């Protein structure tokens, strides 16, 4: 998601380069090609994003090669999504675009006008967002859904004190990758390359610019910025490397199975203690939106709302009409939930709803919801939070490593010819 939001922000605020006379093929990717106009457009987009961040830009040839690698990986994932039949309906895409516009304090029409006025192409913008959504679904299918975390792993994590996180860190990251099944000579060569990069950084080279130029991490073109992570969300070697570092300091080279890592602490803060959450007891009815039938779903939700206001039981209607099978069998009852566990549109509507009042139909990516709040409370959720957090932390650790390996295998197994 972070990658999607960064792409969205840059696309929304960056003029797109003209395509005229820039049609030379710069890479062959299986049976597809990437042309110079595509590369130049992406170069300009990322350049503008780096300039807004105040990140120094590496030499042009290094930067172009990094951007081309990024485009190749993106194209390979789109090709795989094609093969897997992963599609995004116009309704799903339009809903996402409306959310993007809202986050930028615009209507969808205003966002379209802004992109056009700044020299962009709204059709290309839509296509880029659709591809990012397809790639997200592909990674979910190919990587995330295959991750298993056992109860024994959770118990071991908790026993080692993993859930009592000692603070948070905002880190920047550089990965110098190893090939799959590297030979001893390849390991020595890559390790030497990592040490050389580390020496450049300790001698004063800009970390973000170096990440853009040399890192193969998933956030390389954002200067390697990983964002904020709880200490217990970091792989153990990462935490050991940064635990005693102050903001601005750089770790030693950290070896791993997929390469050599270098970290910089951008910011850090102290640990938290008890986890008290605001919870809401809520019930709902969900009306799913089938492709091309948005108006029909909205009308059905409105009809159910009128029936409830006229005296029919929400619980009875949920059992027979809700498209959420898990809650439907319980009469629409979701139990006590926190806003963080819900999709943003549902959470926002729930938070603003007085107890006992029935909402208007609320659109989320699942469909239209009718929501009623039954009660609110403050709840000490420390034990359950730590267990759930341990499970999610272990999943995230595995996801990062498995995604990196999956992308590397995808690239290694593809036919790629560079003509830059």
Nearest to 382 by CA among 158, 169, 98, 104: 158
What is the Cα–Cα distance from 336 to 204, expressed in whole angstroms?
52
CB-count burial class (<10 Å; 0-12, 13-18, 19+) for 409? exposed
Least confident segment among 91-105, 219-233, 266-280, 290-304: 266-280
Q: Per-residue pLDDT for 13 more than 50? A: no
Q: CB count, 10 Å around CB of 42?
A: 22
Q: Per-residue pLDDT for 397 more than 60? A: yes
Report pTM: 0.62
**In the Cβ-directed half-sphere of 302, how many Cα atoms lie within 13 Å?**
6
Query: What pLDDT sits at residue 168?
Result: 80
Angle, helix 60-83 to helix 207-214, in steps of 10 degrees: 50
What domains can you pick out in the chain, each with its CATH number? 2-142 (1.10.4030.10), 162-273+395-418 (3.10.50.40), 276-379 (3.10.50.40)
Over range 141-167, report the average pLDDT.
Answer: 81
The pLDDT tens digits of the residues spanning 81-107 come to 999 999 999 888 998 998 898 888 888
| C-beta of residue 389 within 8 angstroms of C-beta of residue 231 | no
Q: Per-residue pLDDT for 286 more than 50? A: yes
Over range 17-21, report the average pLDDT.
Answer: 45
On average, the pLDDT of the chain sits at 87
């Amino acid at each position: 998601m972070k990658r999607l939001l960064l792409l969205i922000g840059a696309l929304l605020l960056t003029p797109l380069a003209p395509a005229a006379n820039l049609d030379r093929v710069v890479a062959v990717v299986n049976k597809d090609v990437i042309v110079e106009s595509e590369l130049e457009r992406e170069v300009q987009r990322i350049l503008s994003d780096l300039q807004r961040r105040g990140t120094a830009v590496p030499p042009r040839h290094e930067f172009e090669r990094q951007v081309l690698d990024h485009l190749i990986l993106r194209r390979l994932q789109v090709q795989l999504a094609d093969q897997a039949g992963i599609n995004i309906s116009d309704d799903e895409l339009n809903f996402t675009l409306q959310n993007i516009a809202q986050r930028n304090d615009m209507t969808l029409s205003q966002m379209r006008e802004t992109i056009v006025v700044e020299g962009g192409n709204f059709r290309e913008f839509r296509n880029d967002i659709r591809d990012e959504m397809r790639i997200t679904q592909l990674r979910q299918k190919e990587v995330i859904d295959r991750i298993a975390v056992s109860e024994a792993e959770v118990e071991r994590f908790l026993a080692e004190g993993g859930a009592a996180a000692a603070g948070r860190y905002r880190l920047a990251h550089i990965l110098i990758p190893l090939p799959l099944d590297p030979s001893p000579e390849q390991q020595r060569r890559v390790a030497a390359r990592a040490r050389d990069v580390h020496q450049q950084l300790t001698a004063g080279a800009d970390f973000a610019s170096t990440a853009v130029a040399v890192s193969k991490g998933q956030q390389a073109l954002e200067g390697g910025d990983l964002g904020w992570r709880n200490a217990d969300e970091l792989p153990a070697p990462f935490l050991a490397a940064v635990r005693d570092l102050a903001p601005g300091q750089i770790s030693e080279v950290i070896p791993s199975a997929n390469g050599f890592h270098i970290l910089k602490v951008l910011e850090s803060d102290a640990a938290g203690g008890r986890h008290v959450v605001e919870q809401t007891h809520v019930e709902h009815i969900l009306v799913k939106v089938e492709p091309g039938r948005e108006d029909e779903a909205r009308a059905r939700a409105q009809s159910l709302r009128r029936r409830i206001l006229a005296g029919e039981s929400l619980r009875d209607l949920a059992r027979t009409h809700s498209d959420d099978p898990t809650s439907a069998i319980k009469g629409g009852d979701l139990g006590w939930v926190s806003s963080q566990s819900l999709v943003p549109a549902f959470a926002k509507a729930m938070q603003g709803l007085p107890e006992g009042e029935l909402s208007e139909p609320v659109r989320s990516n699942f469909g239209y919801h009718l929501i009623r709040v039954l009660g609110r409370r403050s709840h000490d959720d420390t034990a359950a939070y730590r267990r759930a957090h341990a499970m999610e932390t272990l999943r995230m650790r595995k996801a990062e490593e498995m995604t990196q390996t999956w992308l590397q295998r995808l690239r290694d197994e593809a036919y790629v010819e560079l003509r830059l």
